Copies of this chain bind each other. A is one copy, B any other.
Amino acid sequence: MAEFVLDPKLLSDTVHVADLRLSALLLMRDANYPWLILVPRRPDLVEVIDLDAAERTQLMAEVALASEALRQTVACDKLNVAALGNIVRQLHVHVIARRTGDAAWPRPVWGAVPVKPYPPGEAEALAKNLATQLG
């Protein structure tokens, strides 16, 4: 039986925040926007509908948890929630805190502007603050 292995691009682009019941919660290394990614830890998932109904409900609960943690931790005018997967096929859900006037506003973030690296240690510090907010 296949085991879950995090996609290498998701691994290299992110900092680990927490393991929720279903998903690994990750912070994108892009200082343009506070940007979380949920990756359900089940092998061979591509679409949201590859999850069964109970897992989909759990994924939605984790989207809500990530959204609340973001809003309590950073400035946020709008949340963007999306499962695209056109490039990285492993099922993952973006939860992004947008600000009016951020680098891509009002466009979607994907491919809009180059990634902006965090200063050393800042992504890890934000990940730790977010993990604390999750309780």
Q: Footprint of B on A, CB under 8 Å?
A: 46-49, 53, 56-57, 59-61, 63-64, 67-68, 78-87, 89, 98, 105-108, 110-111
Contacts and interface: CB of A to CB of B under 8 A. Distances in A.
A82 B79 contact: no
Contacts of A67: 47-49
A64 B60 contact: no
A129 to B, nearest CB: 19
Given A68-B49, A110-B107, A86 B79 contact: no
A122 B94 CA distance: 33
A39 to B, nearest CB: 15
Contact of A105 (B60, B86, B111): B86
Contact of A78 (B56, B57, B86): B86
Contacts of A98: 86
A86 B82 contact: no
Given A48-B81, A49-B68, A86 B63 contact: no
